[in-house]
Amino acid sequence: MSRDETDSDGRTRREYVKYGGVVVGGGLLAGCARQSGSGSTATETSPGDRDTGQTPSGTTSGDVGSESTAAETGTDTPTGGSGYSVTLPPVGEVQFDSVPERWVAYQYGYGDMGVALGEGEGYVGTNKPENYPDFFYDELPGVDFDAAQLTDIGSGDKEIFYELDPDVLFLDPNNARSRFDWSDGDVREIRQTVAPFFGHFGRRYGYRYQANYPQLGLYDLFETVAEVFRKRERYERVKAVHDDVMAQIRRDLPSEAERPTVGLLSGGSNVADGTLYLMEATAPGYGRKQYRDLGVRDVLENVETDSPFYRTDFEELLELDPDAVVVHWTVQLSDAEFETQFVEPFEANAVGSELQAVQNGRIYRGGTAEQGPIINLFQTELAAQQLYPETVGDGELFSRETLAAAITSGGAE
């Protein structure tokens, strides 16, 4: 049925989906701002859309594996003809009459959740698919997903959404307003004639609207996505792998005083001309979950910042002098690209070369901020190898075969 077709009773093809919460009421959407809450935020560019993050309300950012309990999200199986409902702020309660088959995820984190649930075949669109770190899946036998199959929805062209014809949009409607410059009317149109929105922007980016609803953690969001796809048991299997890794990390972490200080450098920094932006390494949100889980000491811990991106220079960075510098959003770069863009400019600068991180060879590629459960496990392992070489070295924190089996195993859900 096309977007202009209606059912016999005059409803458009998506209007049978019922919505609750603030999206319907319009209060949150109508009141949100489209720009950062601080005029001093830096604009970051490729690779990816380099955002920052935020955790569930009430958790401690330094706790290992801190994730809040997700909201009630319906039963484990569809409830006959009446369908089932799943709840997520800010969209509220969304009712489905069947399990979605085709889906769009603006953020790779949601895409990774879908792949982890065995739903990669139905993933049809995302933002900047060329930057999706699907190379991690190459290590998982039987987990086949190629981001090249995805359509780029980053332009916000509504016609793309009609052409893709998804059953659900894993996209925070507030983010659609901010990134696509959509009006309330645009959001309402797509919701009513294409598919329901089901998304929560899981990383703090400085948008004012993020202060209006609680920020959830990676496994909170993963659990709700699992409820949408009716894949509770698969979620539990993947979570069990994660929980084992968290237990191992807790067991092996050195005392806090022995943990490294980390300067998390924005990948949008231009090291060659001394334009440096630091980010809070342990800020809440799924984008930096691995650093919180690894208990690192944030070099910005005692620095007052009013922006997600703290502009600094070589001189101030030398005063902070972190044990290691990790460059956010650069895991997609080759070794040669990373050396050219980040390591060599530090070494060539008279002040930058004095950093202990430079002298000790501890300028590292950092993970993508967009991570679901699979990407996060790999990026946690990568960060652990970088920051705790004495205890982790090149060792693996989890079995690839075990994770792959958790994702691909069939059986009742």
- Phi-psi group of 408: left, alpha or beta (phi > 0 → left; psi -120 to 50 → alpha; rest → beta): alpha
Residue 3 has pLDDT above 60, yes or no: no
Q: What is the pLDDT of residue 67?
A: 32
Q: Is there a domain that residue 66 lies in?
A: yes
**Domain residues for 272?**
244-406
Q: Is there a domain that residue 2 lies in?
A: no
Confidence of residue 231 (pLDDT cuts 50, 70, 90): very high
Q: Convert the pLDDT of each residue in 373-404 to its tens digit.
A: 999 999 999 999 999 999 998 899 999 999 99
Do 221 and 263 sit in the same domain of this protein? no
Q: Convert the pLDDT of each residue in 313-367 to its tens digit.
A: 999 999 999 999 999 999 999 999 999 999 999 999 999 999 999 999 999 999 9
Confidence of residue 305 (pLDDT cuts 50, 70, 90): confident
Total domains in the fold of the chain: 2
**What's the whole-number average pLDDT of the chain?**
83
Confidence of residue 413 (pLDDT cuts 50, 70, 90): low
Q: Is there a domain that residue 223 lies in?
A: yes
Q: Of the residues 230, 265, 297, which one is the last residue of a structural domain? A: 230
Do 307 and 365 sit in the same domain of this protein? yes
CATH number for 146: 3.40.50.1980
Q: Convert the pLDDT of each residue in 32-51 to its tens digit.
A: 322 333 333 333 333 333 43
Residue 110 has pLDDT above 70, yes or no: yes
Confidence of residue 214 (pLDDT cuts 50, 70, 90): confident
Q: Which residues of 143-159 are buried (b: 16+ CB within 10 A; e: fewer)?
A: bebebeebeebbebebe
> Which amino acid does the sequence have at 268?
G
Q: Is there a domain that residue 295 lies in?
A: yes
More confident residue, 320 or 207: 320
Q: Is there a domain that residue 335 lies in?
A: yes
Distance CA 187, CA 29 (A): 9
Do 205 and 256 sit in the same domain of this protein? no
Q: Of the residues 196, 230, 264, which one is the last residue of a structural domain? A: 230
Do 73 and 166 sit in the same domain of this protein? yes
Do 212 and 252 sit in the same domain of this protein? no
Q: Of the residues 201, 230, 259, which one is the last residue of a structural domain? A: 230
Do 169 and 70 sit in the same domain of this protein? yes
Q: Could you tell me which residues come within 8 angstroms of residue 147 by beta carbon, excluding any fewer than 6 positions away? A: 126, 129, 130, 132, 134
More confident residue, 181 or 223: 223
**Whole-prediction pTM:** 0.82
CA 179, distance to chain mean position in Å, is: 16
Do 206 and 341 sit in the same domain of this protein? no
Do 155 and 210 sit in the same domain of this protein? yes
**Are the beta carbons of 367 and 382 closer than 8 angstroms?**
yes
Do 281 and 327 sit in the same domain of this protein? yes
Quick one: average pLDDT of 191-210? 85
Do 254 and 145 sit in the same domain of this protein? no
Q: What is the pLDDT of residue 69?
A: 30
Do 218 and 283 sit in the same domain of this protein? no
Q: What is the pLDDT of residue 17?
A: 35
The CA angle 213-113-406, to the nearest 5 degrees, is: 135
**Are the beta carbons of 228 and 197 closer than 8 angstroms?**
no
Do 125 and 73 sit in the same domain of this protein? yes
Q: Is there a domain that residue 184 lies in?
A: yes
Distance CA 410, CA 29 (A): 40
More confident residue, 4 or 375: 375
Q: Is there a domain that residue 162 lies in?
A: yes
Q: Is there a domain that residue 205 lies in?
A: yes
